[in-house]
Amino acid sequence: AVGSGSIGVRLCSTVEEVAEHTTYLLSEKHTWRSSPRILVEEFVQGPHYIAQIMGNEVIAIAAADYGPPPHFVFHSGIQPAPLTDDEYKRIADVSLSCLRVLGLGWGPTNIELRWTKLGPVVIEVNPRLLGGTGPQLVQLAYGVDLITEHIKLVVGDEWDLRERHSHIVAVRVLVPDRDGILDWIDGDSRAAAVPGVAEVKLCVEPNMPIVRKGDYRDRMGHVIAASPDRARTEAILQRAVDLISWSISPFPTW
């Protein structure tokens, strides 16, 4: 019930798995032990979308992809999401109805949803800016700096949410496939030099221990690409990601 970045979030298929994971969450091994409550919710299948809202205006809807279950580790995202007009409207309508029901709508909000056979189903409503690269993707896609506009709102100035341009922006998170010691990681400078790459950022260094936790802390870095065309953006991103490589050695057994 307390946490962020998917820490402690796990897909459980049986009552026994729920009991086992609950025991872990309430144990001293788990990082977020500040709340004695456990949130159990239905797992809904379908594409994942994130609506970013300022006040009562939907600024952007992004698509997000996650790694394999049972964890929910963010792997990639694209802004704007490839939606039909009807899908966009239904996601926007559900998102704004959440604000009305919860009495929100003053400043920034991000709402996560999945598109199911019944349409959009709300996963989270967060009365804050989206974390990580969220605001950066919006700025690259539309030229709207949500952080600056939020500050304007706080200090009593008038904000400006008008789009300056329209680009397709995609992000890929670099995630390890094993635990161990990071021998080396290379190619970030070559990736950053690819035309259309907006950012390459690494958050690990050689000789660091890599221990996957099944949440946002697994990330080793990210690559962001932007262009006016979706296929071009995806090609730029893939080319840049392919230039980055690393080596992880198993932990010593002694």
212 included as an active-site residue: no
**All residues at 6 or more sequence positions from 86 whose CB lies less than 8 Å from its CB, including other chains:** none
Q: Can you read off the two tokens belonging to residue 110?
A: 């991000």
Half-sphere exposure of 95 toward its Cβ, with a 13 Å CA cutoff? 30
Which candidate in 33, 128, 164, 190 is catalytic?
128
Active site residue ranges: 128
